[in-house]
Amino acid sequence: MLLVSTKKMLIDAQEGGYAIPAFNIHNLETIQTIIDVANEMKSPVILAATPGTMKFAGMEYLLNIAMLTAKKSDVPIAFHLDHHEDLESIKDAIMAGCKSVMLDASMLPFEENVKRVREIVEFAHRYDATVEAELGRLVGQEDDLIVKEQDSHLTDPSLAKEFVERTGIDSLAISIGTAHGLYKSEPRIDYDRLKEIRKVVKIPLVLHGASGLTDNVVQKCIELGISKVNIATELKIAFSDGVKEYFEENPNTTDPRKYLTPGKEAMKKIAINKIQMCQSENKGLLHL
Ligand code: 13P
């Protein structure tokens, strides 16, 4: 298949009562691992790349690896920009073939957020690309994006409705008590707020900050209307732990093929678990 936008996969998930896992990728090894698991489990997946990842690996390298893996796959694969803020680089990625983007302008006042997002929606929709935007602001750290407690806030359901209508976005990232990175204390998820948002917003809703949440918590969020679940930190921990363990046992190794393999195997276990948690296994078959 070709790389797809997230339009159909998220609407199918919303209608089917499951979620699509969006895994943050960084390099060839993370992309290969996610794609192998997605094909084995017949799950649609989203490969998400932050601005930091794009800078590290190069937008065209990542996009082309993703395009190649999608071509070799028989499940829908989307390549998605995660937490991008720069309008021009988002437009460049769309022109290069990226079909799904998040413009994060959640740090701005409401009217400015609407204006910036509307501009990207108008551009993206001309090229059949989908747009996710955030209203409210998650606490925590996602790559270079650091949001302190005092700068974070939860999504206001009545503003969410207006935001979606005025921007024309395809999916909405909401802040309901989750955090980027690992939780320092027990997360307090505002399920009532999620229910309120679900009542007034018709498009797919996105849960950021899923690392460290129990399967039960995420599944309750899916039941209440979440259709995309973002996972980054747990994959990074698994990858680095796998590599570290290999070095502990083989301190003199120099062959990247040797030490990267246990890193990939450790990530694979997380990816399997998260696909099961999202209940997206075998849902890729719908699109054949
Ligand atoms: P975690 O790092 O907490 O898994 O969050 C991922 C995320 O929301 C990416 O946008």
Output the pLDDT for position 288: 45
CA 20–ligand 1 middle distance (angstroms)? 14
CA–CA separation, 255 and 205 (whole Å): 43
For the stretch 215-271, pLDDT in tens is: 999 999 999 999 999 999 999 999 999 999 999 999 999 999 999 999 999 999 999
210 lines ligand 1 (CB under 6 A): yes
Residue 136 has φ and ψ, to the nearest 5°, of: 90, 175
Work out which ligand 1 atom sits closest to the CA atom of 181.
Answer: 3
* Contact of 194 with 174, CB cutoff 8 Å: yes
Return the pLDDT at 1.
83
Q: What is the pLDDT of residue 286?
A: 57
Task: Note if 92 is an active site residue.
Answer: no
Nearest CA to ligand 1 atom 9: 230
Ligand 1 atom 1 nearest Cα = 209
- What is the distance between the alpha carbons of residues 166 and 2, in angstroms, rounded to a whole number? 31
pLDDT tens for each residue of 35-61? 999 999 999 999 999 999 999 999 999
Distances (CA, A) of 271 to 18, 32, 115, 187, 281: 16, 12, 36, 22, 11
- Residue 37 CA, ligand 1 centroid: distance in Å: 19
Measuring CA to CA, how many Å separate 94 from each of 75, 76, 131, 250?
22, 18, 11, 43
Domain range annotation of the chain: 7-287
Catalytic residue among 12, 74, 82, 104: 82
Domain 7-287 is of which CATH architecture? Alpha-Beta Barrel (3.20)
Q: What is the mean pLDDT of each run of 10 residues along the chain (288 residues)?
A: 94 98 97 98 98 96 96 96 97 97 96 98 98 89 77 90 98 94 90 97 97 97 98 98 98 97 98 98 77
